[in-house]
Amino acid sequence: MSLRKSRYLAAALAVAATVGVLSGCQSVAGSQAVSLVRVIDASYNAPAVDVYVGQTQIAGNIAAPFISNYAILSPGVQTTKIDSTGTTKVLATVSGNYLASTQHSLYLSDSGTSFTATLLTDQVTAAPAGDFDVRFLQNANAVGSVDIYLVPDGSKFAAATPIAANLAPGQVTSYIPVAAGSYQLVIAPAGSTKASYTGSAVVYASGQVRTLLITDQPNVDQQPINVVVGDDVD
């Protein structure tokens, strides 16, 4: 782990000690008293940031690409504030209704030379038996529009059909049902068969729900695309 990432992790753990947090495997479904929210930071335009919902800090000193655990909040309409880390300089705000028994993601994404903050509603129920559900957040601006493939174990990329086609930067898909099993994630520029990202085989179990964040890869000696996985439901 790099020193930069270690610093962000240490800060995130410090925030976790002051507010209740849940991983995606601990669903809020059935609870009438709380709302859950996590931060998905996909913005390379933004500096390291601190994130507050109302007066509660839910993430500290984070930078892209990053997906936090869920923080526990009281339900209600609240304003979320994104500050430059360690300052009171407000970079963005977004107001939204944090619903009871609901999971949310505060999504920071690039917009031109700046960034925007959007409040997303996450799936809280398990996928149907025999399936897993997956959602894609596309913020790979340098690569542009992409085709996304989940290639079954033992199959060839050349014979695969994209699960999401021509997905432009800034787009967020709905949750897509897929048969449970072992898959290799492959991402290519739209209409191309030359992969910009090829992942290792991953086993997705029945009932799981995942959010996959797609960003540009800042390290020029690696694949052009970076992928971060968020666990919504296990």
pLDDT digit string, tens, across residues 169-190:
999 999 999 999 999 999 999 9
Residues of the chain short of pLDDT 70, as ranges, are 1-32
Contact in structure between 181 and 203 (CB atoms under 8 Å): yes
Q: What is the fold of 131-233?
A: Immunoglobulin-like (2.60.40)
**Two structure tokens written together for 32:** 């009438």
Task: Outline which parts of the chain fall under CATH 2.60.40.1120.
Answer: 131-233
| pLDDT (tens digit per residue) in 190-217 | 999 999 999 999 999 999 999 999 999 9
Global pTM reads 0.86
**How many angstroms separate the CA atoms of 23 and 232, rounded?**
8
Sheet holding 146-152, edge to edge: 164-167, 146-152, 181-189, 197-204
CA 211 to CA 226: how far, in whole Å? Answer: 14
CB 101 within 8 Å of CB 94: no
| Contact (Cβ atoms closer than 8 angstroms) between residue 182 and residue 168 | no
The confidence score (pLDDT) of residue 32 equals: 58
Q: Does 3-122 carry CATH code 3.40.980? A: no
**Tell me, what's the pLDDT at 214?**
98
State residue 176's pLDDT score: 99
Residue 203 makes CB contacts below 8 A (sequence gap 6+) with 181, 182
pLDDT, residue 28, reads 56
Query: Cα–Cα distance between 136 and 143 in angstroms, integer?
Result: 15
pLDDT of residue 111: 83
